[in-house]
Structure formats: C-alpha cells, structure tokens
Amino acid sequence: MEKILSKTSKDLVNQLLQSIDVTVNGNNPWDIQINNPKFYTRVVREGALGLGEAYMDNWWNCERLDVFFDRLLRAKIDGKIKVPFRFVMKSILAKFFNFQSKLLAREVAHKHYDLGNSLFQNMLDSRMIYSCGYWKSATTLEEAQIAKLELICQKLQLRPGLTLLDIGCGWGGLAKYASEKYGVQVVGVTISKQQQEFAKQHCAGLPIDIRLQDYRDLSEKFDRVVSVGMFEHVGHLNYKIYMQTVHNVLSDSGLFLLHTIGSNETTSFPNEWIMKYIFPNGMLPSIKQISEASEKLFIMEDWHNFGADYDKTLIAWYDNFIKNWDKIKSSYYDERFYRMWTYYLLACAGNFRARSSQLWQVIFSKHGVQEGYICPR
C-alpha cells in the first residue's frame, strides 16, 4: 500500500510542479532538490505542514525558496492538493474555540518574540522595527522603516502635547520616533517581557511608558491609537472586543491607525506550519472581518494597501539573517532553526510577491473628520 501511495503521490506532485515550470532535481534556482523519496507522500498527506517540516528535516532543498513559493502560490497549487482531515477539524474548532484568549495569547510572546533580542537585532534595522517597511522612495531597509514610521505619524496627524497609545509596541521603535520627532506622550503595551525590557531602556528619558499588558486591560483615554503588526495575533473571535477596546480609549476627536497583514479570503484558521513554528495562535484578518468588527464603532477614513513592499522587507531581513548567522547561532539557534527561519522568511516573501497576502494601513475616526480626511502617501 505504501509503495502504491508513494508512486501516486510522486506522480501528482510532479504533475503540479511541472505546471509551474518547477523541475525536481532541475538546474533552475527555483527547482527543488529531493533528498528523501518519502517527501512526496508526506506533502500529499500533510499539506503545508508536511512541506515545511520536510524542509526543516532536509528532505528537500531549493536555492530560491522565494521564487518557488511565488510560482506555487500565484498558480494556487496549494489548493489543488486535498486538505488533510486534521486541518479540517482544526478549522472547525477554531470557529468556536478562542485560541487568542488572554492566557493563550501569551504563547506567541514566549515562542516567538522572546526568542532572544540578539536574533532580531541582527536581522532588523537599527530601530528594531518588525513590520513591513515603506519602499516608495527607499532603497535600503533603514530608509524604508524610517519612511514607514514617518508615514504613520503623518497619517495620525501627530503634534506636540497629544497622547499616543501603541498597542503591540514591540521594541519601542515607533514610540521613540513619535516622541522625539513629534513631541507626543506615548504609552506602549506588549505581552513580551523581553520586548518590554528592551523598549524601556531604548526609550529611557522620554515621556514614554512601556507596559507588560494585554490590550483588553486598557482603560485610559488617548488622543491617538496605533497598532502595527499586532492585529494578526488578535483572532477572529476577539476582533469586536479589540475594536470596542480601542473605541473606549480613543478620544471623540481622535484617530486610530491599524497596520496589519491581511488575507484575501475570510478564514478562521491559518497556515498550519506558520501557526506551529512561527506565530502560535495567529491568524490573518480579511477585509470583511475588519469591516464587520469596526462597524457601528468607527468611520473608515482611508484604506492603504502596500503589500508588495513586504516582499522587499522580508528579503532584506533574510539578507541580514544570513550575513549575521555566525553572530546569531548558538546552542539554541541550531541548524534546524536556521532552516526553519530561512523557510519562514523566504516563503513569506514569495507569498507577498504572489499577492496572496496584503499589508493594510487603515485610518479610523469615531465620528468622521469634520471637513474630510486627507491621507498622505
């Protein structure tokens, strides 16, 4: 039975790969090299999870994973292999079980953001900004992240004396930039202890309060609210709670900027490999989910998509990761981690290049800007 299944699986995989001009053991940089013949059965049986784990186990290689995934996702090959029953059951469970409750929400902090600041210091820009850069006029990662921070501050119409809440403040890069350049007072919240410790030192001497706090526990009022790369961890069962919380803490004349990766389709369960190894309990919102959650609470003033810029950002992070691997690697960051992180960065780059995911900045007001909102680009 195993031999028959393997042969059938091999034929299916080869046929699908040939349709996107990917050759097994071929010479093109996007061709895949098979090191273990059980690869085919594993991928057909286990889908995205099997594909990623097989790469981590060195069952296959590819010189340009980003190009491979661009081709695969652009042709929607992932939808042509039967979804494992396990994934179906998890998707059903995710419709009703809150994987992003206060208790479970901290899992992503422990397993991802608390991996060690040295990893992110050697991969990100000098301000430790772990979200999509804005490459409209930028040529380097540093320029792209400064441009993104400036874009956010201009969209929020910051000025001296205003108070800004940064939900999911990361290592404090945005908080420091906004306080130093625009004279605002900032409260930043994160559920990552390592992020909080770093951000407090990074922002020392400025009117910035970095807290280890869940967004659901916020109660003060703020003139502006911003959330960059955090909504992906909220979960569809909490979207309304999140929006209600922001509504409660935002002043009546305030502005709220939501910066989030977005899904082209509404789902309740993410890519299995990403959820297991990179972002536990995370999921990407759709336009429908964001609009339904914000309805009756906010007026949408502007919706800006620059998802194609995430491809460039991820490639820049990958280049830094590779360049600095000798500084990063340790008894914890072993070769398996190297393959896992490489797969994560390059698969995501291919995903954004194929436009399978988006990057949205959405501006909300509570009652509508009196004479209309003019958004910078």
Q: Are 371 and 90 in contact (CB under 8 A)?
A: no
Determine the Cα–Cα distance for residues 286 and 296; give it in Å rounded to an integer.
18
Bridge partners (DSSP) of residue 256 are 225, 364
Q: Are 309 and 359 in contact (CB under 8 A)?
A: yes
Nearest to 57 by CA among 28, 23, 34: 34
CB proximity list for 116: less than 8 A, separation 6 or greater: 194, 332, 333
Nearest to 311 by CA among 265, 345, 263, 275: 345
Checking phi first, is residue 12 left (phi over 0); if not, alpha (psi -120 to 50) or beta?
alpha
Nearest to 317 by CA among 169, 178, 148, 121: 121
Q: 3-class SS at 290?
A: helix
Q: What b/e string do you get for 192-211 counting C-beta neighbours within 10 Å, with b at 16 or more?
A: bebbbebbbebbeebebebb
Q: Are 189 and 213 in contact (CB under 8 A)?
A: yes
Longest dimension (CA), the chain: 72
What would the two tokens of residue 84 be?
A: 């494992």
Neighbour count for residue 145 (Cβ, 10 Å):
28
Catalytic site includes residue 348: yes
Task: Give the distance, in angstroms, between the CA of residue 62 and the centroid of all CA atoms in the same chain.
Answer: 23
Bridge partners (DSSP) of residue 165 are 187, 225
Q: What b/e string do you get for 311-321 counting C-beta neighbours within 10 Å, with b at 16 or more?
A: bbbbbbbbebb
| Residue numbers annotated as active site | 348
